[in-house]
Chain A
Amino acid sequence: MTEQLSEDSAEQETRRRSFLAGVVAVLCGGLATLPPVVAAVWSFLDPLQRSSGAATFLPLTDLTNVPADGQPRQFPVIADRVDAWTGFQAEPIGAVYVKRDEGTDRVEVLSATCPHAGCFVELDNAAGCFRCPCHNSSFTLDGGIVAPSPSPRSMDSLECEVSKAGAVSVKWQNFYTGIEDKVAKK
């Protein structure tokens, strides 16, 4: 009887021990692998912390270079740029179209990035419209969408300022593509 009992409890004891051993093994193993996994995931998610910084006004050109003829002209947006470990000075970081309507000083600036999927929208002078070479989205010279179009919205206008001396500057921003709303990337 007692023998039986002690045998049972011995068996229980072994089971308990092996259960405990299992738990500890999993714990130890898990703990040991945790640091590399944490480090890997942590660093891999680093890009989520990066932002292109708050949009600032960048000098674009002189008002005299934008004749008041309602004809858009392409200008590069020049700024200092940081790409991970490399710093560039005064690099073209994008392009815009600038237009001044006849007889006015009002300047309109459109981003050259296609709101469909981000190709470079071109000015088709012969046809008097903007055209994206990728999926043929067309836009009027005001940037308005020409239906039917793969693009979900008009070209993105950018805020701009003209100083008293006639210097045109633009608030350069990138927007999410492929959606109806114009949402600036952070």
Chain B
Amino acid sequence: MRELSGHGESSGLDEVAGGSWISNWLDSRTGYRALVRSALYERVPGGARWRYVWGSTLVFAFMTQVITGLVLWASYSASAQTAWESVYYIQYEMTGGWLLRGLHHVMAQAMVVLLALHVMQVVIDGAYRAPREVNFWLGLVLMMLVLGMALTGYLLPWDQKGYWATRVATNLAGLVPLVGPSIQQLVVGGPDYGHHTLTRFFALHAGFLPATLVIFLVLHLTLFRKHGLHAKQPITKPDAMFWPDQVLKDAVAMLAVMAVVLGVILMPALRAILAGEPIVPGHLGAELGAPADPSEPYAAARPEWYFLFLFQFLKVFEGWGATGEFLGAIVVPGATLGIMFLMPIFGQWKLGHRFNIVFTIAILAGAGLLTAMALHEDYYALWADRSAFADVEELIESTGGDEDKIFAALGHDKEKLDVFTNRREKLEAIRRSEAFLVAVKQAARDSDRAVELAGRPEKIPPTGALSLVRSDPLSQGPKLFAQHCQSCHAHIDPSAENAEEVFAKSSAANLFEFGGESWVRGLLDPKRVGGAAYFGNTAHKEGDMVSFVCEDFTDEDEWKQDDKEAVIFTLVAESGLLQGTGRKGTGRKKVIKRGQELIANTDRCGSCHPYRDNETELGYAPDLNGWGSEEWLVGIITDPTHQRFYPDTNDRMPRFGVASEGGLQALSNKQIKLVSQWLRGSWYRPAVHNQANSDRDHL
């Protein structure tokens, strides 16, 4: 290589440099020409080839990560109350932040793919054989470092996805014999996830690992230069120089990699353009889930796709107990790496080399297969037809899942039972997949909402985005309702397809748009008040309210249409949900006045209900002052047996806000408020958003 430098090939460089005294001076002080020459004028035996580009593309990918990573670092803040928040800011508010983060995120994935290709090329070409063994080992260390950076990077946004996936990974680290628990505690930065998990992961991701990687990369490249490129045999073409022949191929490959990465980032934009929708830059590039919440289950937890095979691998050891766990998470991956380290030694023999090739391909194929299995399991419900298993479902339901009863129902036929068990497993798989898909959708909604909240004009409070989400009626209401109210109350649009079915199963009123006009109309509709959506499944089915609506209220002499309307209108006004009803101006005031008189009248509603100054005593029927308002709802949820509501006739509704001495309330005051606000549809809505969409989207 050196002797070439004085000859024709390198003359280009000398010509450029030769004339200038500055470059002569610089060269005499630094010797840079020799450096540049030795870097560029490497002989490539047999000429430049495409199969040599993988190493260079990896270096290129790493450089991309360094450039984008350093600038991300300049905007990132590693702590439990600022990590998600700063990443949100990068992604949604910083100019070009989505592109910066997108490049870093997608290139990381590209790097994993390039790594696999590079390893495959090296093994297949036998490039690990003497004298290049050490360099192969250095390469394996580099591979582990890159995977380590991928793993640590996944947690840094501190969103639900990264949080739960990484928790699994660190828990698995605890399985290493003897030192496992200590390693786990050191990595996590204490007994629990928190600030120090982030600061440690960040230090690993941006400091320790890349610094080590640079050292090993320098060694790797130095050894690569020392031994020269391992040429693919047989050599058929004349030798060429690294510059510009191989560099050209490398550069084209880099461009191709970048094009793919950009393509992945911009794909959603293209789709939006084709669908005629506006492009939201924040939605391009890397996702950002809802802020990490240790107390909130996250059923969509999956590792990044390139670790999915390891994730699936754990399922393979189902039923092996702790041994399986240990095998799947520690022994097999460890042994695989061990074998890879021994490859250069095996490779001395022809058979060993063959083994290495087969082994590498088998590992990659196995990983591919496991990944496909994981995806297949998760998305099974998308193509499987659940209705084909209706009979299985029916049989399980009618027998309560009891094995003996099922066997009897199948006429004690062993064969039929086998078929049944088989189909039952398939059904289970569909249901699991359905649950996963629901969880994925929920996760997307949660993350959209978190972003929406973070974008409020008031911005994120110092307690972090999680406190915003936790105090958001739209985020918490449905969960609280599902947990505490749904066992009795329905919450479904009466015009929905399966509404009647849901009503039939409920044992208390449907609370969908409670306090709003349509709800009140239903209440005062003789055909509906005694139905399952109102009092039909309660102890009040034959109560005074139902008979009042069915008899008195339908008497047209007593209740004129206008008066009925006034009552409806006034009740909605009490709940403070008039916005939707479209009445304005003085007409409205008049109607409300009329309605108030009618409701207060002790010959009408007021005979049972206390209202305004009608002096009807509390305790017989609910107080209609402020009926349906937030305060009223908080009151009834806290204690339905309170004088204002149903002191004697409460039908099974728990006192959610009352606790015995030393005990805790079923719902905290804050939670009761959240449910009330959610029921009334009062939550933050971004101003610019299409109102009609955002209102109902989340319900």
Which A residues fall within an 8 A CB radius of B?
44-45, 47-48, 50-52, 59-65, 73-74, 76, 78, 83-86, 91-95, 112, 116-120, 122, 124, 126-128, 131, 133-136, 147-150, 152-153, 163, 165-168, 174, 176-180, 185-186
Are A168 and B301 in touch, CB under 8 angstroms? Answer: no
Q: Which residues of B lie under 8 Å from residue A83 when comparing CB positions? A: 80, 192, 194-195
Contact residues in B for A153 (Cβ distance below 8 Å): 321-322
- Determine the interface band of chain B, counting residues with CB < 8 A from chain A: 35 or more
CB contacts under 8 Å to A, within B654-673, are 654-655, 659-666
CA distance A128 to B181 in the complex (A): 34
Q: B174 near A176 (CB under 8 angstroms)? A: yes
Interface 1/0 per residue, B318-351 and A, CB below 8 Å: 1101101110010000000000000000000000
- For the complex, is B207 an interface residue (Cβ under 8 Å from A)? no
**Of the residues B186, B191, B322, contact of A179 by C-beta under 8 Å:** B322
A136: shortest Cβ distance to chain B, in Å?
Answer: 6
| Total contacts A-B at CB 8 Å | 167
- Complex Cα gap A63–B168 (Å): 34
Interface status of B492 (Cβ within 8 A of chain A): no
B171 touches A150 (CB 8 A): no
Mark contacts of B294-325 with chain A using CB atoms, 8 A cut-off: 1 yes-contact digit, 0 otherwise.
11111111000000000100110111011011
Query: With the chains together, A122 CA to B299 CA distance in Å?
Result: 8
Given contacts A64-B660, A178-B172, is CB(A48)–CB(B196) below 8 Å? no
The answer on a CB contact under 8 Å between B436 and A133 is yes
Smallest CB separation, A5 vs chain B (Å):
47
Q: How far is the CA of A165 from the CA of B662 in the complex (A)?
A: 8
Interface string of B422-446 (1 = CB under 8 A from A): 0000001001100110010000000
- Does B625 sit within 8 A of A, measured CB to CB? no
Residues of A within 8 A of B401 (CB): 128
What is the CA–CA distance of A114 and B661 in the complex, to the nearest angstrom? 32
11 contacts between A and B (CB under 8 A): A48-B185, A62-B665, A64-B654, A85-B195, A117-B314, A126-B431, A147-B319, A149-B319, A150-B324, A152-B325, A166-B663
Cα distance, A84 to B185, chains bound together (Å): 14
**A86→B81 contact, CB < 8 A:** yes
B649 lies within 8 A of chain A by Cβ: no
A110–chain B nearest beta-carbon distance, Å: 14
Main secondary structure of the interface of A (DSSP, over half): loop
Among residues of B, the one whose C-beta sits closest to the C-beta of A148 is B319
B194/A127 in contact, CB under 8 A:
no
Which residues 124-165 of B sit at the A interface, judged by CB distance below 8 A? 164
Besides A47-B190, A120-B296, A133-B439, 10 other A-B contacts (C-beta < 8 A): A50-B190, A59-B664, A83-B192, A83-B194, A91-B295, A133-B297, A150-B324, A152-B321, A167-B661, A178-B175
List B contacts of A60 (CB < 8 A): 664
Contact status B295-A179, CB under 8 Å:
no
**A178 and B322: CB pair below 8 A?**
yes
A134 to B662, CA, bound (A): 37
Whether B436 pairs with A148 at a CB distance below 8 angstroms is no
The CA of A167 and the CA of B660, in the complex, are separated in Å by: 7
* B483 on interface, CB distance cutoff 8 Å: yes
B654:A65 contact, CB within 8 angstroms: yes
Q: Is B167 an interface residue (CB 8 A)?
A: yes
Asked if residues B191 and A186 are in contact (CB atoms below 8 Å), the reply is yes
Residues of B within 8 A of A (CB): 80-81, 164, 167-168, 171-172, 174-175, 181-182, 185-186, 188-192, 194-196, 294-301, 311, 314-315, 317-319, 321-322, 324-326, 329, 401, 428, 431-432, 435-436, 439, 483, 654-655, 659-666
Which of B194, B483, B660, B664 has a CB less than 8 Å from the CB of A84? B194
Is A74's CB under 8 angstroms from B322's CB?
no
**Whole-angstrom distance from the CB of A66 to the nearest CB of chain B?**
9
Q: Are B186 and A150 in contact (CB under 8 A)?
A: no
Q: A118 to chain B: which residues have CB within 8 Å?
A: 167-168, 171
Contact B186 A48 (CB under 8 A): yes
A90 nearest CB neighbor, chain B only: B668
**Residues of chain B within 8 A of A165, CB atoms compared:** 660-663
How far, in angstroms, from A59 to B294 measured CA to CA in the complex? 19
Q: How far, in angstroms, from A179 to B298 measured CA to CA in the complex?
A: 23
The answer to whether A180 and B322 have CB atoms under 8 Å apart is yes
Contact of A120 among B189, B298, B324 (CB under 8 A): B298
Q: Which residues of A contact B299 (CB under 8 A)?
A: 120, 122, 133
- Cβ contact within 8 Å between B432 and A136: yes
- The answer to whether residues A177 and B171 also contact, given A64-B654, A133-B436, A163-B663 and a CB cut-off of 8 A, is yes
CB distance from B314 to the nearest CB of A (A): 5
- Find A62's partner among B194, B300, B659 (CB 8 Å cutoff): B659
Alpha-carbon separation in the docked complex, A127 to B192 (Å): 32
Instruction: With CB as the reference atom, state the residue of chain B lying closest to A44.
Output: B186
- Looking at the assembled complex, report how far the CB atom of B424 sits from the nearest CB atom of chain A, in whole angstroms: 11
Q: Which chain B residues border A62 with CB–CB below 8 Å? A: 659-660, 663-666
* 7 tightest A-B CB contacts, nearest first: A148-B319, A167-B663, A92-B295, A120-B297, A133-B299, A83-B194, A152-B322
Q: How far is the CB of A64 from chain B (nearest CB, A)?
A: 7
Give chain A nearest CB distance to B167 CB in angstroms: 5
| Most chain B beta-carbon contacts within 10 A, residue among A76, A94, A120, A124 | A120
Q: How far is the CB of A150 from chain B (nearest CB, A)?
A: 5
The CA of A168 and the CA of B329, in the complex, are separated in Å by 38
**A178 (CB) vs chain B CBs: closest residue:** B325
Residue numbers in A under 8 Å from B431 (CB-CB): 126-127
Q: Bound complex: CA of A45 vs CA of B333, how far in Å? A: 27
Chain A residues, Cβ within 8 Å of B174: 176-178
**Please, which residues of chain B bring their CB within 8 A of the CB of A134?**
164, 168, 301
Query: Nearest CB to that of A77 among chain B residues?
Result: B295
Q: A45-B186, A83-B80 are in contact. Are A166 and B660 (CB under 8 A)?
A: yes
Give chain A residues whose Cβ lies under 8 Å from the Cβ of B319: 147-149
B314: chain A residues within 8 A (beta carbon): 116-117, 135, 150
Can you name the residue of chain A whose Cβ is closest to the Cβ of B195? A84
Q: How far is the CA of A99 from the CA of B96 in the complex (A)?
A: 52
Of B189, B315, B660, the residue contacting A135 (CB under 8 A) is B315
Give the docked Cα–Cα distance between A130 and B372 (Å): 26
Q: How far is the CB of B464 from chain A (nearest CB, A)?
A: 10
Task: Report B-chain residues with C-beta under 8 Å of the C-beta of A117.
Answer: 167-168, 171-172, 314, 325
Contacts of B164 in A (CB 8 A): 119-120, 134
**Considering the chains assembled together, what is the distance between the CA atoms of A153 and B617 in angstroms?**
59
Residues of B within 8 A of A116 (CB): 314, 325
Give the docked Cα–Cα distance between A176 and B176 (Å). Answer: 12
B318 adjacent to A150 (CB under 8 Å)? yes
Known interface pairs A47-B196, A83-B194, A118-B168. Does A167 touch B325 (Cβ–Cβ under 8 Å)? no
